[in-house]
Amino acid sequence: MRFFERLEQRSTQVNSLLCVGLDPRDNDPVTLRDDCRRIIDATAGFACAFKPNSAFFEACGAQGMAALREVIAHVPAGIPVILDAKRGDIADSAAAYATAAFDVLGAHAITVSPYLGGDALAPFLARPERAVFVLCKTSNPGADEFQSLEVGGQSLYEIVAHHAPRWSEQCNVGLVVGATDPQALARVRRAAPDLWFLAPGVGAQGGDLQATLEAGLRSDGLGLLINASRSIAHAADPAAEARRMRDSIALITDRLTRAPRAQASDAASDTTARLARDLLASQCVRFGQFKLKSGLMSPIYLDLRCLVSHPMILRRVATAYAERLSELQFDRLAGIPYAALPIATAIALEMNRPLVYPRREAKDYGTRSMIEGDFVAGEKIVVVDDLATTGGSKIEAIRKLEAVGLRVRDVVVLIDRGHSPRGECGDAARSFLANAGYRLHAVVTLPELLEEWRRTGSIAPSQYDEVKSFLSQ
């Protein structure tokens, strides 16, 4: 089982996002071991994970390291152990640290520094059943000295957050993001929407639990480990304190995950209503009798090329795309020529994300490149197009992107046509892309727009009936 699968299983099993930190202070390794065992025995029923701090054991020499190994072995089976060691080295040194953490000590995950780059993480990531938590935005007072430096319009910690999913090819990378800066935590969550975060700083360091959960939880109510060490270890009754923290986290999490569902539904309705108005105003949607590429006659015609003549509407469309794209992990956007290029450019400006695009035809001069724009092989690309029709043009573009070493998993369109006849449908494109290993996402579907136009009286009942009948054939 992969580490984060194990972690999610444990979280669900005991309804907990509490990580109990083991930071014993003593010069005697036996005392360190016994203190940690006592905390483990008292809190195991409420902990999602344990996090022993290697430093206090290392300070006691060989006997201390033996004690650390015994402490990790004392954790009940099924509870993940994260070794807090903050390793950062390369090549054989990093491989040796990985062997020490995973094979000698028996930890399931480890904290690491990204300062030396991805190759420093590679030995730790080679095992899919193990994981790393990469230092991203830490909770110490001096964290901003380097982590908040602006690099290319972003803070350095945000760049780390954007890189982390790229390192996580085997889904075994998480991030360390301190609870002492909820604003930074929220920015990291936007940059890495799917990753697990380890959040130290609640309790003794002054981090606010409510603000931390609001900023760091994933939409599924998971993805965030709240670490507590001294507040539990120094409590008169560590078991009672761990239970209290576990229950407080669960109560806030439940409240936060219930409210956004209703808010998301309202936001989706607002987006559909706004797009419905804008698409009619810009004449991107027209009603009448139109011959489609397939030869069919359609009572509705979609042409998003018209957006270029309506800059304010194009900006709002880009915002709608950005809301959908914020749920995905990617390094760069890729627009498909020609209709999607101005749309993708507007999205890139809206999200401050880099853009590339595959050419329709190769140049026979200059660089002769099939892909325009800067990129690095191995980066994750999300393809942007205007509509979902058959999917053929998307596959053609994806093949060109993959030919230069870029990775594609997701395609995002503004409108999924929904059900419509003989190949003129988003469902056909969705199935076609899925069979090829890609996921199609849409901001809105044509049936949803149609219902909105009917509700607002923007189209005549006869037009609604005619289009509805056409789409249901």
Band (116; pLDDT cuts 50, 70, 90): very high
Average pLDDT over residues 63-71: 97
What 446-452 contacts at long range (C-beta under 8 Å, 24+ apart), as own/partner pairs, is 446/300, 446/302, 446/415, 446/416, 446/417, 446/418, 446/420, 446/471, 447/418, 447/419, 447/471, 448/272, 449/272, 449/275, 449/276, 449/279, 449/285, 449/415, 452/272, 452/273, 452/276
The residue ranking higher by pLDDT, 63 or 140, is 63
pLDDT averaged over the chain? Answer: 89
The residue ranking higher by pLDDT, 421 or 194, is 194
Highest mean pLDDT among 160-164, 269-273, 427-431: 160-164
- The answer to whether residue 101 scores a pLDDT higher than 80 is yes
Band (188; pLDDT cuts 50, 70, 90): very high
206 dihedral zone (left: phi>0; alpha: psi -120 to 50; beta): left
Three-state SS at 155: strand
Two tokens, residue 101: 């953490």
Three-state SS at 13: helix
Three-state SS at 439: strand
- The answer to whether residue 152 scores a pLDDT higher than 80 is no
- The answer to whether residue 423 scores a pLDDT higher than 80 is no
Lowest mean pLDDT among 43-52, 58-67, 411-420: 411-420
User: Tens digit of pLDDT for each residue in 291-335?
Assistant: 877 678 889 999 999 999 999 899 989 989 998 898 888 999 999
Q: What is the pLDDT of residue 449?
A: 93
Lowest mean pLDDT among 81-85, 241-245, 364-368: 364-368
Domains of the chain, start order: 3-234 (3.20.20.70), 267-471 (3.40.50.2020)
Q: What is the pLDDT of residue 425?
A: 38
The residue written with tokens 């002492």 in the block is: 180
Average pLDDT over residues 62-71: 97
Q: What is the pLDDT of residue 426?
A: 42
Q: What is the pLDDT of residue 259?
A: 62
Name the DSSP letter for residue 182: H
User: Tens digit of pLDDT for each residue in 367-421?
Assistant: 667 899 999 999 999 999 998 866 677 888 999 999 999 999 999 999 987 643 3
Q: What is the pLDDT of residue 80?
A: 97
Name the DSSP letter for residue 76: P
User: Tens digit of pLDDT for each residue in 433-448?
Assistant: 888 889 999 999 899 9
Helices (H), 228-382: 230-233, 238-281, 311-325, 340-351
- The answer to whether residue 165 scores a pLDDT higher than 80 is yes
- Catalytic residues, by residue number, are 86
Measured in residues, the chain has a length of 473
Cα–Cα dist 417/399, whole Å: 24
Cα–Cα dist 450/418, whole Å: 11
User: Tens digit of pLDDT for each residue in 266-294?
Assistant: 555 788 888 999 999 999 999 999 887 76
Average pLDDT over residues 172-189: 93
User: Tens digit of pLDDT for each residue in 3-23?
Assistant: 999 999 999 999 999 999 999
